[in-house]
Structures are given as C-alpha cells and as structure tokens.
Amino acid sequence: MAEYMILLFDDEAAWAAASPEEYDRMLKAHGRFQEQCVELGGKIVNSNALQPTSTATSVRGDVVTDGPFAETKEALGGYYLIEAADLDQALAIAKLVPVLKGGVEVRPVMVF
C-alpha cells in the first residue's frame, strides 16, 4: 500500500457563514467519508483540520509575514493521509471527500 495526501481546499467564507446545521452536516459527512475510505479498501493514517488562514504565518527566506503568502478564494483547510493500493484507488477515495465549495488535491507521498 502506498501513502497519498489528500489536501482539502475550500472557501473559508462559506465555512464562516455556515449555519450550525450545515456545519454539523459537514462534520457528519466527514465521519461518513472515513467509513467509506475503509469500505473502498483504503486506510486513513492521519487527518487534521487547519485553523483559518488569518492565523497563518508565512516564511520566505528570512522574511516572516503574518497571514497567508497568497490571496486565494480557496484555502488549504485540512488533509487526510491515506494508504491506498494505487493512485486509482486513492482518487476513488478522494472523490468522496466532502467540501462546501472547493475541491481536493491528491499527491503521492515521496518514498526515499
């Protein structure tokens, strides 16, 4: 089994404006996603949600800046590190990740 990182990009404003019911629905959808990953033969190794980009600190060389480096509508909001047999299986799993208005990126983890 290879490891793949599924990066979740979503609209922070949509999350900030979400009603308590919508927020709860999305949390339940992520719980269901975790079950579906196993049903498809994958395994979640680790996952986390990230604080909003307003809490970010960017470092470029020796310059430290409060906030994210680039302005973007969709921001990295979290990740799932999964094990999957191959990229096709990882993509099938990634298609099930719930996002409000964004998308996901799948990358194989480099093995040295």
Note the pLDDT tens digit of each residue in 81-104: 999 999 999 999 999 999 988 899
Residue 62: band (very low, low, confident or very high) from pLDDT cuts 50, 70, 90: confident
| Number of domain units in the chain | 1
- Assign residue 26 the CATH number of its domain: 3.30.70.1060
Domain of 19? 2-108
Radius of gyration of the chain (CA): 15
Q: How far apart are CA 39 and CA 53, in angstroms?
A: 33
Candidate ranges 13-17, 34-38, 57-61, 70-74; pick with highest mean pLDDT: 34-38
Q: What is the pTM of this model?
A: 0.88
- pLDDT in the model for residue 65: 82
- pLDDT in the model for residue 70: 61
- What residues form DSSP beta bridges with 11? 74
Which class for 26: exposed (0-12), middle (13-18), buried (19 or more C-beta within 10 A)? middle
